[in-house]
C-alpha cells in the first residue's frame, strides 16, 4: 500500500480521535458512538474549522438546509452554512445543529428525507480561481437518504450565474449507521478574497 492510499484513512482516524477527545467534556456527546467520519473528497483547506455539533443522543439527521448567497455580490461566497435537523427513530423532532455560519445569504428551506435518515453527502466545489478572480469553494451540497434510496439537493443552481464547479465522490455511512453531526470549515471575510464554506465533515453514529 503506498503513502497516498493511506492518507484518507489516516485523516479519518485523526478526526475520530478528535471527536473522542471532545466527547470527554461535551454534555450529550459522550454517549454518541461515532463510527465514521465523512469528509468531502474535493474540499479546500482554506479557513478554520468550526465546532463539532451533534444531534441529541438517540436522534439522527433526517433533513438538512443550506445558507446560500446567490451570485452577483462584489465577493461571492455561495454556501455560508449547513444545518442538520434531528429526529428519533420513533419520529420525534429533537433539535437542529450547525457549525460555523457566515453572514451572507439566506437559508433555503429544509430538504427532508421522505423516509429514514441522512446517510451520505457530496458537494459541488469551485476549484481555486487564482489571484485575479473570485474564489467561491463550496457551491452546493447534495445529501443521501438511507443509502441512496433518495437524494436531496441543497439549492437549484440552474438559474444562477456561478461558473460550474466539480462534484466530489459520494461519501456514505456504513450500514446500520446514520448521520448524527457535522463540522464546517469556513474562511471568514477579510480585506482579500473570502470564500465562505470550504469543507464539510459529517459524523456517522450507530443506529
Look-up: residue for cell 455539533? 53
Q: Give residues with Cβ within 8 angstroms of 207, minimum separation 6.
A: 60, 89, 117, 176, 177, 178
Closest CA to 134 of 66, 89, 69: 69
What average pLDDT does range 144-160 have in this prediction?
Answer: 87
Closest CA to 204 of 65, 82, 54: 54
**Count of beta carbons in the 10 Å neighbourhood of residue 98:** 16
pLDDT band for position 17 (cuts 50, 70, 90): low
Mean pLDDT across the chain: 81
Q: What is the value of pTM for the model shown?
A: 0.81
The residue that leads in pLDDT, 25 or 155, is: 155
Flag whether pLDDT at 167 surpasses 80.
yes
pLDDT at 35: 94
Q: What one-character DSSP code corresponds to residue 71?
A: S
Flag whether pLDDT at 157 surpasses 90.
no
pLDDT at 70: 84
- Range(s) of the domain holding residue 181: 3-206
Q: What is the CATH number of the domain that holds 150?
A: 2.100.10.20
Question: What are 51-68's pLDDT values in tens digits?
Answer: 999 999 999 999 999 999
Closest CA to 179 of 91, 113, 90, 110: 113
pLDDT at 94: 96
List, as one string, the DSSP characters of 43-59: ----SEE---EEPPTT-
Torsion-angle region of 91 (φ positive above 0: left; ψ -120 to 50: alpha; else: beta): left
Number of separate domains in the chain: 1
Amino acid at each position: 500500500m503506498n503513502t497516498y492510499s493511506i492518507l484518507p484513512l489516516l485523516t479519518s482516524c485523526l478526526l475520530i480521535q478528535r471527536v473522542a477527545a471532545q466527547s470527554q467534556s461535551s454534555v450529550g456527546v459522550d454517549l454518541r458512538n461515532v463510527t465514521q467520519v465523512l469528509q468531502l473528497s474535493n474540499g479546500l483547506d482554506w479557513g478554520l474549522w468550526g465546532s463539532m455539533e451533534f444531534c441529541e443522543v438517540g436522534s439522527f439527521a433526517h433533513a438538512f438546509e443550506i445558507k446560500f448567497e446567490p451570485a452577483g455580490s462584489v465577493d461571492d461566497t455561495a454556501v455560508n452554512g449547513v444545518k442538520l435537523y434531528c429526529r428519533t427513530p420513533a419520529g420525534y423532532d429533537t433539535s437542529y445543529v450547525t457549525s460555523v455560519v457566515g453572514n451572507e445569504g439566506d437559508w433555503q428551506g429544509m430538504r427532508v428525507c421522505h423516509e429514514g435518515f441522512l446517510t451520505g453527502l457530496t458537494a459541488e466545489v469551485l476549484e481555486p480561481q487564482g489571484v485575479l478572480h473570485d474564489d467561491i469553494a463550496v457551491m452546493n451540497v447534495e445529501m443521501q437518504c438511507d443509502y441512496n434510496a433518495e437524494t436531496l439537493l441543497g439549492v437549484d443552481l440552474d438559474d444562477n450565474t456561478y461558473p460550474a464547479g466539480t462534484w466530489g465522490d459520494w461519501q456514505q455511512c456504513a450500514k446500520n449507521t446514520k448521520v448524527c453531526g457535522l463540522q464546517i470549515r469556513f474562511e471568514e471575510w477579510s480585506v482579500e478574497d473570502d470564500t465562505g464554506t470550504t469543507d464539510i465533515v459529517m459524523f456517522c453514529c450507530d443506529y
